[in-house]
Structure 1
Amino acid sequence: MCQVFDKYAISPDVLKDEELIILLNKLEPVQNIEEYHISEFLAYASTRTPRSLINLLLRRIKRFEEAGEQNYQPLPYIAFHHGLDGLADSNEYEDILRDIRQEALIGTYYTSFWIPKLFEEASLGFNPISLKVLEEWVNSKDITKVQTVSLLLSDTYQEFIFQHVYFVNKLIEQAYAIGDKCYQTVRSHLSKSAISGERSRAIGLPAPADITLEEKASTVAAQFIFGSATYKFYNYLSKYARTNIQDDLAHDEEFD
């Protein structure tokens, strides 16, 4: 279906918004939407009917959770091939992000896995508007909302916590002020994004990823008051990386 509408065939510009929405809705039962032409069509839809597009993707996540269809994948695991950049041009963009944020409150296993992926995609890599939307819940001082913010960040790119130190500081300090349970949850979610990824290394040498993490985390930790919540968080990451390095080298010596 989506192959019909591209620059080499029929331009989707000929479709009325109502017709575009009808075609979008037909994608709900499709098992996988990673196919090139589907991704291209979704990127186009983000420029025309952004809210309908997000509603479709949210319904796909709900369908996956409720129906448990074999081989049904609600979203791409990594990213949409053509992105969803058109969302940011919509005057409804902030509300669209709030809709996704709200769905994360459900807190089931599947929503906890898929909603963070959708939020990161819709936020175009956590742009300033998306951080503003997340900060609304950080400022709420509500434990569930603060923890949900960290959940939405749990699948982000590794450099996030170093590129957005101001935001991380605010989130960590708010969680710490709410209580230890909230702090531990937030720390766990933020740490997940920082320590995930490949740790390849040569025998006898530490993993470059661990060296980088230790150096960056210790540098940021030094910017905060010793013993503060944010200091503890970055110091925890630094120690985590240092322990990995020591364990790897000790393991190599055992088999030397």
Structure 2
Amino acid sequence: MVQINLETVLSQFAAQYTLAHQILMTKLSVNVNKIATLRNARGGNNPNLVQVVRDCERFGAQGITVHPRPDERHITTEDVYRINEVCTTEFNIEGYPDARYLKFIEEVRPAQATLVPDPPEAITSNAGWDTVKNETMLRDIVQQIKSYGVRVSIFADPSEVIIEGAKKVGTDRIELYTEPFATGYASNPAAAVADYVTAGKLAKELGLGINAGHDLDLNNLKYLKEKLPFMDEVSIGHALVCDALYMGLENTIQMYLKQLK
């Protein structure tokens, strides 16, 4: 007669469940640019950006994202260093990799540096890198940032050629640019997500981590998560802050986290 040790079985099940949960868990990084925009509209320190960062983490956010543009129209140079002092989750600094940006990364050493191709005057990021055309430049920058012990993510369109190019330059992750998905989601979700599923599966096969961001909200996030369950992180700012005006920051963050479960 075979004896079963219930404690051992339960322990093994718990370990397998924990591993599966870690594999499928997608972190929510809150982009606080819009909070800084609101503060800058009147000067002073209301709302208090540092306190908002603390509260986002207290309410469940697993990361904080900033994009410090050269004109400082939202996140300022001082903000980057002050947030770094209080951030207890993963600090993600995104931006165009010019000398100013690379100085931030070298001095702050955030958990993640997300490289975006948009010029300084752009209102918001609106395309991913051409990783083939910019292969040499990106490879050099990725190597430099990695030498600081910082994880690198590259903003990328859902194209197999682009994803393969991202692998060649040595990045740790890609961040899928999701505006086209968000735009097409209302009329045809399956068609809107198709290229992202293909690109995501390829990235996973190549050993790249997968982030996503731009125009993700409470309407489309759950569907994207269902189709790309292995995403590592989503970065959300504009929609989340807009929702928080009606539902409150704590409740809104919890609602976004619910979409990722």
TM-score band by shorter chain is 0.3 to 0.5
RCO comparison, higher one (Cα < 8 Å, 6+): 2
How high is the TM-score relative to the length of structure 1? 0.32
TM-score calculated relative to the size of structure 2? 0.32
Between Structure 1 and Structure 2, whose CA radius of gyration is higher?
A: 1
More strand by share: 2
Return the structure number with greater helix share: 1
